[in-house]
Amino acid sequence: MTSIGATVKEPGSSKHYKTGSWRTFKPILDKDKCIDCENCILFCPEGCINKDYDIDYDYCKGCGICAEECPVKAIKMERE
């Protein structure tokens, strides 16, 4: 069954779909190097890095923007 007008009543329900499987390269953060600049948090297209800099690999597509934008190179991209 499709809801009336194909309305979706569960906000943010795309979280049920894990895009982590799209990934070829995985970002690994070295928290010791991290200077808490928030670049990776702000620039993540998935919004899947939290304020404690934990990367949610369920959703990370491995685009590598975080590694590219890290001013101290604390994030490395490793092949899955």
Partner 1 sequence: MEIPEEEFLAPGHRACAGCGATIGVRLALKMLGENTVAVSATGCLEVITTPYPETAWKIPWIHVAFENAAAVASGVERALKSQGKDDVNVVAFAGDGGTADIGLQALSGAMERGHNIIYICYDNEAYMNTGVQRSGATPYGASTTTSPYGKESFGEDKPKKNIPMIMAAHGVPYVATASISYPEDFMKKVKKAKETDGPAYIHLHQPCTTGWGYDPSKTIELGRLAVETGSWILYEIVDGEFKVTYRPMQRKPVNVYLESQKRFKHLADEEKERIQNYVDQICAELKI
Partner 2 sequence: MIKVISANRALAEAVKLAKPQVIPVYPITPQTSISEYLASFVADGDLKAEYIRVESEHSAISAAVGASGTGVRTFTATSSQGLALMHEILFAAAGLRNPIVMGNANRALSAPLSIWNDQQDSISQRDSGWMQFFAENAQEALDFIIQAYKISENKDVLLPSMVCVDGFILTHTVEPVNIPHQEDVDKFLPTYQPKHAYLDPKDPMSLGTFTDPDYYMEARYDMEVAMEKAKDVIRKVNKEFEEVFGRKYDLVENYRCEDAEIILVAMGSICGTIKAVIDSLREKGEKVGLLKIIAFRPFPQEDIYQAVQNAQRIAVLDKNISFSIGGVLHNEIKAKMDVDASGFILGLGGRDVSPEDIINIIKETRNPTEPDKITWVGIKEEE
Token code pair at residue 48: 């899947």
Q: Which is nearer to partner 2, 13 or 21 (CB)?
A: 13
**Which positions from 7 to 46 touch partner 1 by CB under 8 A, shown as an x/- string?**
-x-xxxxxxxxxx--xx--------------x---xxxxx
Phi, psi of 21 (to 5 degrees): -70, -10
Q: Of 21, 15, 68, nearest to 46 (Cα)?
A: 15
Total residues at interface with partner 1 (CB under 8 A): 37
Q: Return the residues of window 6-25 that contact partner 2 according to CB under 8 A.
A: 6-9, 11
DSSP symbol at 5: G
Residue 57 C-beta: closest distance to partner 2, Å: 26
